[in-house]
Each structure stands twice: as C-alpha cells, then as structure tokens.
Amino acid sequence: MRPRLPDELVDGLEIRDATPVSGGDIADAYRIETPDGPLFCKTSRHPTPAMFAREADGLRELREHAPDWIGVPEVVRESDSGLVLEWIELGGRRSSETEATLGRGLAHLHRTTNATFGGLGTEKAGYIGSMPVDLTPTTDWPEFYLTRRLRPLVEAAVQAGSLDPDARQVLDRLEPRVADLCGPTEPPALVHGDLWAGNRVVDAAGRNWLIDPACHYAHREIDLAMMHLFGGFGPEAFAAYDEHHPLGEGWRERIEWYQLVPLLVHAVLFGGGYGVSALSTMRRYA
C-alpha cells in the first residue's frame, strides 16, 4: 500500500510509487517515482512550525554559494508538512580525493560573508536538528555564541534533566573569557550549521553533497568543530580546507569549545552522556 503523502506537497507530480527510505529521526522519508525521474520526499505528521521552511531556505542558500563540485539538492516543493528534493543516487565511497574536494569546497563556501552573525535574511529563529535556536542578528560573535547558544542551551539541558545545574555557575565563570575563547575576530561566514558525517553524502559518481543544513552566519570554526565531533571526515578534508582558507591561530584549541553547542543540543534531545561531556568541557575551559 502506497503511503499517503500531503496533497499540497505532491499534487501534480504524477507519483507512480513511493518507497520508504532512511532519512533521519525527525521526518518520514520516501523515494517517489515520477515521469521525470525519482525525487526525495520528507514529511512529518506533526511538523514543528517553520522547520521545513528553514531547511529549504538553507538548501537554497547553500546551493547558491557552494562551488560547482559540491552538490546541494534542489528544492522541488516545500510546505509546512515537508519537502520534495532532488534525488541523490548514493553509492560512492569516501577517498582521499573526495575528502580533499570537500575541504576545498567548504573553504570556498565559508568565504561567503554577511554584515551580521545570525539568520539568513530577516529570519530570527531556526533549528539545529529539531532544536529551536535564536538567530537574532548581531555584529558581535562572542555575544552571539554566549547569549544565542550557550546560555539558552545550558538552561534547556538543565530543565530537561540531562545537565547538572552546576553548569549555570560554570558558564558564569566562563563569561568574562568568552571573547578570548572564541578566537580571533573574523567576518560572519555562511555555515552549514550541522555538519556531522551523516549530513555529507557521496553519490555514485564520487561527488560530495551537503544535506539537512541548519544554515546561518557564524564563525566558520563551528563547522570544523562539528566535523571533528563524531568523526567520518578524513584528514585530507582539513588539510585542504586550511590550505585554501587558512584557519586562525590556535584553532585546534577551540575545537572542543565550539563542540559545546552540538553536545548541548544532543543533551536536550537525547540525554545520555552528552550533558556530562558538555559540563566536563566547560569545566576544562573554566
């Protein structure tokens, strides 16, 4: 029996078949067959407000600014309940060449700048995964990182019971040093925003693709830190990146600092040991 997909999302596509595929924890995902070829559809019965719209905005922004050798799926349809995207034929394997190409492409992407840190255009709210985050713009990166990321995420994780309340006091001790901990001043960079290995795929032809973004303008090291957190990226990616867009002095010492955001998001959403890891990291920097 073919799954029922939202009419406003698929009307007119002349769908011949729809097959469930893996697509993450947030939405149901399908390969849909049309006369013009396969497409990817993701949908949710209980969508979080504007979540799919923000993802579509991010995909369009990445598609506009990424170099030709990095793929970003085209948004075919969007609605409050889901997205229809270009189909990516997977099957390629990561190699030293794909990793170096990804590094060069990410360096190119990060040269896209903006007047302020925060959302794309006028948007002031976004998501990392299904976690709402504040994208209100500011010209001050340390302020953004402290007030739009660390403080609200620490509070959310404490309220969820997945982070020791002592984290509030640790963050208070860190606050006077936030500017130094955030590293050298850099212009806002267009970042993927959720660049773990599962959000980079390699197609059958060996081309890298970026999917499921949480795009905004931020310090570019947050993408590099996320890439280090769960692994899945080869050393060639980081070497090629640094060659084409050299990183600021001491960037390796800031990796765990910028991993705090994904750790706190995971603590809120999944619990487990993520809160313990986040607090341990905060204490090391304190």
Q: What is the pLDDT of residues 177-236, one digit of tens each?
A: 999 999 999 999 999 999 999 999 999 999 999 999 999 999 999 999 999 999 999 999
**Looking at residue 66, what is its pLDDT?**
97
Would 171 be classed as within a structural domain?
Answer: yes
In whole numbers, what is the pLDDT of the chain averaged over residues? 95
Residues 53, 130, single domain; the answer is no
- Residue 73 and residue 109 in one domain: no
Burial class (CB in 10 A: 0-12, 13-18, 19+), 23: middle
The two structure tokens encoding residue 59: 């995909």
State the catalytic residue, choosing from 57, 194, 212, 223.
Answer: 194
Residue that terminates a domain, selected from 86, 113, 133: 86
Provide the 3-class DSSP secondary structure of residue 265.
helix
Q: Domain limits at 62?
A: 7-86
Based on the fold, state whether residues 101 and 194 are members of the same structural domain.
Answer: yes
Lowest mean pLDDT among 15-24, 54-63, 262-271: 15-24
Whether 212 is a known active-site residue: answer no
**Environment class of 37 (CB within 10 Å of its CB; exposed 0-12, middle 13-18, buried 19+):** exposed
How far CA 270 is from CA of 125, 211, 248, in Å, comes to 22, 21, 33
